[in-house]
Structure 1
């Protein structure tokens, strides 16, 4: 049985708390948030607190707060025997300021409190300073998930940038497509099958092999027609992406 304290009340903390409370081999000792009201819904399931000095002893402390707050929060954890980890994709392991063991427990997924997640499909990107702590994080991750990767801080920072491209930026492309559909009174749902086909295609093809469209064909007539339909901001994005595709 691995005992854990979860520090934070954001989207990641919400979902891992929910998952670990159901896990057979995890004992959630406590959940912390600066505002006790935001975790009041947990009071019948687990000990809650809004005071870092009142944190209970545990094997692992999972810090799931804003990146800027990680150094300060970690410095407040006085249990030198415990493994302290954060869940950030862009913060180095070395920015943890606790006096004892350090690690990273990064889940590569986009989390929203209103949407359920399947942890068995989520990559757990783990890092620690020694094999024993890495094995402990593996054991903890496997209580709720299946996909385990050993990713160091430099790799994780690059991975986080890549994730912004394939997730946040792609979602903004959806938003632009939705705006265009709204402007011309076309249901955005008409594009849903195309979006799903594009997403699933990379299970079988590399992104480069899966690329289609006027840019890769160098179809200048279609590209010009598209640009004529777009506003100035959309034109700039269209031109930049078209050039990037053609540059390979």
Structure 2
């Protein structure tokens, strides 16, 4: 399949590599910054471009892997193409691509960093398309890349993305706050590594509602208040502690 990749960020980089490894031809990599396009294009033996009007209109597939808030503008500026146009976003409706004859979504559900190695075939891929034929094409492509591919509506992907923000982005921020608390006490973040691993492993074996532990799950107000007192002067962290504690207590009632 001849592919044009629009974007050169974290998701685009991983997709480009796995598609190239699957023997698809990446014709072009577009980025507003030509140096970024060139770096990724060199990896997958593609041409680098920084003008949307330079896009090859004869490709089979166009993958938009760009910031959500730039999607509508980029779509508007793209040339007319007959190939299948897809985006990779979780919270953007498939309808943003409706100016094209063939369009859909290819959403790899994972947190991506360019330099981080990933076992791509374990990453769930969610697809959506404007026709049954296009959905079948995306399912076939998805199955080349991953062991877990399923169709999902824009609404379902939106719910999954919200869930991911709680389970990944917010959790990582909790790690950051925990690191800050440890730094204040002169202790290394590495002390939390075994706890983080065990917590993650537990929710792979059981429901998070069953895995919940800690003073809030016991409604141990004496310890909770002690923690809040110790966080005096760190108003934002103290407020987050209180909000999360109240939420856990409420869900355990």
TM class by smaller structure: over 0.9
Task: Within 5 Å, give how 1:183-194 maps onto structure 2.
Answer: 183-194=184-195
Distance 1:221 1:238 in 2: 14
CA deviation string 1:67-110 (max 9, x = no partner): 12212222344444211111111111111253311101111111
Distance 1:212 1:21 in 2: 45
CA deviation string 1:106-164 (max 9, x = no partner): 11111111211211121111111222111111121222222112111011111111111
Question: Which of 240, 243, 247 matches 2:246?
Answer: 243
SS in 1 for 2:29: strand
Quote the residue 1:50 is aligned against: 50
Q: Is the 8 A contact 1:78 1:99 kept in 2?
A: no
Distance 2:42 2:128 in 1: 31
Q: Unaligned regions of 5+ residues in structure 2, if any?
A: none
Distance 2:42 2:179 in 1: 41
Q: Is the 8 A contact 2:104 2:129 kept in 1?
A: yes
Quote the residue 1:62 is aligned against: 63
Quote the residue 1:204 is aligned against: 205
The farther-off stretch of 182-191 and 133-142 is 133-142
The farther-off stretch of 174-183 and 140-149 is 140-149
SS in 1 for 2:205: coil
Quote the residue 1:14 is aligned against: 13
Quote the residue 2:165 is aligned against: 164
Q: TM-score, normalised by structure 1?
A: 0.94
SS in 2 for 1:171: helix
Q: TM-score, normalised by structure 2?
A: 0.92
RMSD: 1.5
Q: Unaligned regions of 5+ residues in structure 1, if any?
A: none
Query: How many residues are paired up?
Result: 246
